[in-house]
Chain A
Amino acid sequence: MGVAFDSISFKASLCDGCGDCMTACSEAKSGASRISIVPGAKAGGYEAALCRQCGDPKCAQVCPSGALDKDGGNGVIGWDAAKCVDCLLCTAGCVYGGIAVDPNVSRVAKCDQCDGDPACVKVCPTGALEFRKAGSIFNEYGAKEDLFVPGLSGCQGCNSELIMRHAMRKIGRNSVLATPPGCIPGMGSVGYNGKTGTKVPVFHPLLTNTASMLSGIRRYYDRIGRKDIVVMALAGDGGTADCGFHAVSGAAERGEKVLYVCVDNEGYMNTGMQRSGTTPYGSWTSTTPVGEHMKGKTQDAKNLPLIMTAHKCRYVATASTGYMEDLYEKLDRAIEASFEGFSYLHIYSPCPTGWRIPSNKVIDACRMSVDSNFNPLWEYTNTTGLRFTHSPDNAYPITEYVKMIGKYRHLSPDQLAHIQAKVDEQVALLKLMAAESSPPPAAHRAPAGASTPAGAESSQPARREIARN
């Protein structure tokens, strides 16, 4: 497989032109900023000129002295000051404006990603700049063993299969895996007629007793001193939020050392797309149909991860395959926590079949579900409390999310307003919990100069209003 690298990404829609990144860069590098925020093509919009660390860098190609070279280890295009003849051809060769000239010294100023901790990203108050580590993580994961057999019979584009394969790559062979009835065993993880679909010890608990069986396994392994085995579930939302909830709640209350991953596709998708306790309000399902008298589910979803925080679990987090690096980091923490107590990871998993999404749009839907705050990403520990791992500010309006998904096609303006209100309410509650438990984020410094857009100084909710319009 190819090699991928970490990179700084820029999301123009989130940039308010404050210029904090430029200030931070010039401070960090004691010279001219290597990133420039410039007015965009759209009125009021912004673009960034920054080094993309191209795979086929034109700057290096035009360099007559060999001063620019792509590092095979981290992918950063390095600049050798000793070799540079100061011709500035590279600045002309780069179509992205990724190499700046430092007028003070008349030499090039080249982004080096600050050794993996870019100063510009750290100060960006809107999340427009992000250091994306997914690339190198994928390299690492590609080298790990896939612990499921090829040819699992998931639907085309199945997000749960992606979660299973990637999660088990991370967890490894020293584990015991439970896959209760649902899509995950349905696609063959436990196997058929005596054949297995998984390379680790795997079993089919009842829909109702996953956390209980895992408790028994883990207690006995602890008793005989085999404490390093990850005892874990890859369970659906029905077996977690509904009929299996007593077991989950009981195991959490007892602090059983279990890693419980709930793959939430918001319904009983394996058996024909029926509603579950986590099916959101308004969703079409085969048991909450759309007709003359009924327009989808009439109740809100239960917020299972939030309920789990009330159990004082060792670790609780929400994750999405739209943000894999975040998921990987949370898996690391969840595994570690599972040796100490109950560890609960809730992964949102759009179902192309049951939700009526084209299979090539699943990851887009994952991402938008987070970006619209429909499924905010956060984590909780019983010592540090709750913190967001992805900013809940500057969210897209909920309409941007629901319009991607067929099960919401029928929604009326009233229903949409209900969903938006519930999303806002939930984010407000999470923010309250986050504020109670961790230091507030650094104050957003007022933007300076003519590039300040109207409204940039206003409060966070106002910013959200702008984003929605």
Chain B
Amino acid sequence: MNQLPTTTGKVIVCDGNEAAAWGACLSRPDMVAVYPITPQSSLVEYLAEFIADGRMDADLMDVEGEHTVLSVLHGAVLAGARTYSATSAQGLAFMFEPYFRTPGLRLPMVVSLVTRDAVSPTCVWGGQQDAMTVKEVGWIHMYCETQQEILDTIPIAYKVAEHPDVMLPVNVNHDGNYLSYGVARVELPPQSVVDAFLGEKQVNWHACLDPERPMAVDPLTGGAGGIGPSMFVKYRKGICAGMQDALRVIEEAHEDWGKRTGRYWSPLIEEYRMEDAEVALVTIGSMTGAAKDAVDTAREAGRKIGLVKIKTFRPFPAARIAQALSKVKAIGVVDRSVNFGWNCGPVFQEVLAAMYAQPVRIPMMSFIGGLAGADITVEHFATVVERTFRLAGGETAAGPVWLNEND
């Protein structure tokens, strides 16, 4: 699905954090608020550098913490600005209070999550525990596989966030360490292409703080009696509707981006060698590359295996996933984080729920790998492939399998 970059833009070699910074730069945000945290720090350093050099015409807000990062952006969006920021793990945790209210206010903004395992035990390396922990808040979550996909997904995310049918914040997630510091060839689309793609910003037409258009933003809603609870329900249902509409808008935005740049990324899920697959792997994020190699190796050995990569995790493309996986005999889901109350990975649980609507039960197994910045190697995936085939052969699933337990 990932075509080679067209040569319409400048080609650079950069890591994932710089790719994200370029994605933001090309999207022309008015305001950028930053606070550094590993493994995101170099991303905000790039932003600061771009602004210092005049490459990026945005107001840089160097603030005292992530709580304020998101808070100043709330104010800016309500005043009419397009905004951008990025964070990780503890920063996201400290940001949680304003994070929680962003979708409730229907503020369209884009924030990159450079995913990381969350303390304790203290750990500053990659993982997806941070992003997975906030999946129920109302932000759209998209996970990227490569540096180029990071760059391209950021303008796409603005297009989705600001769509009148969506009006929700978007997290564009890329794996800390692996993608944040890993270097690759990346093509920068010309500014004119991104400008034409994004068009006029549509940020605060629905709620604003402007003396020329006075309104109360976020009045106390709910309570017993009157229209309170029904109004609150209306708001909640509105977010749900925006999420469901986003499934369509995300596909449209990816399609439009593909036409303009020649890069057609899979918007919701990517099906890899699934045509006649008897066994399927499900992956998310940067691990997908190694998984595809493992699939190729297995295919060369004559084994019918395919892969489904999840790009859009919220809204969860349940129907598409069920459709893609409905004909296989076993499914192995690989997570980079832990769902503590379910003794499995969170993506596993989501796929399990999506598959429940199918007429037949397909055996599934949860694999957890890549914690604490560990690489998920082709060897790990060989294990995943092997266990999933054994599952298809009738072996009882006992999960989760901790892939880097002995690394």
Contact = CB atoms under 8 A, between A and B. Distances in A.
Interface size grouping (class) on chain B: 35 or more
Interface pairs A-B: 9 shortest CB-CB:
A216-B75, A196-B216, A250-B64, A212-B71, A216-B72, A209-B71, A213-B75, A216-B76, A203-B217
Contacts of B228: 192-193
Contact of A201 (B61, B64, B65, B213): B213
Interface in B327-347: none
Interface stretch (A106-114, A221-229, A312-320): A221-229
27 contacts: A175-B211, A192-B223, A193-B227, A196-B216, A197-B216, A201-B209, A201-B215, A201-B216, A202-B216, A203-B209, A206-B97, A206-B101, A208-B97, A209-B97, A215-B61, A216-B33, A216-B75, A216-B79, A217-B78, A217-B209, A219-B75, A220-B76, A220-B79, A223-B30, A246-B65, A246-B67, A247-B71
A268 to B, nearest CB: 17
Given A201-B213, A213-B78, 19 more contacts: A176-B211, A193-B220, A201-B216, A203-B218, A206-B97, A209-B71, A209-B74, A209-B98, A212-B71, A213-B72, A213-B75, A216-B33, A216-B61, A219-B31, A219-B59, A219-B75, A220-B30, A223-B59, A250-B63
A199 interface: yes
B217 A204 contact: yes
User: Most chain-B CB neighbours within 10 Å: which of A197, A209, A214, A220?
Assistant: A220
B71 A213 contact: yes
B220 A216 contact: no
A220 B61 CA distance: 11
Secondary structure at the A interface, as helix, strand, loop or mixed, is: mixed
B210 interface: yes
Interface string B54-83: 000001011111011001111111111100
Contacts of A217: 75-76, 78-79, 209
Nearest to B213: A201
Given A193-B231, A194-B219, A221-B79, A215 B72 contact: yes
B8 interface: no
A191 B215 CA distance: 10
A198 B30 contact: no
A220 B31 CA distance: 7
Interface in A159-200: 173-176, 185, 190-200
A192 B61 contact: no
B208 interface: yes
Contacts of B30: 220, 223
A219 to B, nearest CB: 5
A113 B65 CA distance: 55
A209 B65 CA distance: 11
Contacts of B73: 216
Interface string A375-416: 000000000000000000000000000000000000000000
B226 interface: yes
Contacts of A205: 71
B221 interface: yes
A212 B68 contact: yes
A254 interface: yes
Contacts of A176: 79, 209-211
B65 A203 contact: no
A249 interface: yes
Nearest to A250: B64
B259 to A, nearest CB: 32
B302 interface: no
Nearest to A186: B220
B138 to A, nearest CB: 16
Given A209-B98, A253-B64, A201 B219 contact: no
B65 to A, nearest CB: 6
A190 B209 CA distance: 12
B214 interface: yes
A371 to B, nearest CB: 38
A200 B72 contact: no
Contacts of B64: 246-247, 249-250, 253
B75 A220 contact: yes
B77 to A, nearest CB: 8
Contacts of B97: 206, 208-209
Given A214-B75, A217-B76, A221-B79, A194 B98 contact: no
A173 B67 CA distance: 29
Contact of A212 (B72, B77, B221, B226): B72
A201 B68 contact: no
A193 B221 CA distance: 4
A249 B67 CA distance: 13
A198 B211 CA distance: 12
A386 B115 CA distance: 48
A296 B186 CA distance: 64
Contacts of A247: 64, 67-68, 71
A196 B63 contact: no
A191 B221 CA distance: 9
A120 B216 CA distance: 49
B219 A195 contact: yes
A173 B212 CA distance: 9
Given A201-B210, A203-B209, A253-B64, A216 B74 contact: yes
Interface in B252-299: none
User: Most chain-A CB neighbours within 10 Å: which of B63, B98, B211?
Assistant: B211
Contacts of B77: 216
A350 B220 CA distance: 25
A432 B101 CA distance: 45
B214 A199 contact: yes
Given A190-B219, A191-B220, A206-B101, A254 B62 contact: yes
B201 to A, nearest CB: 12
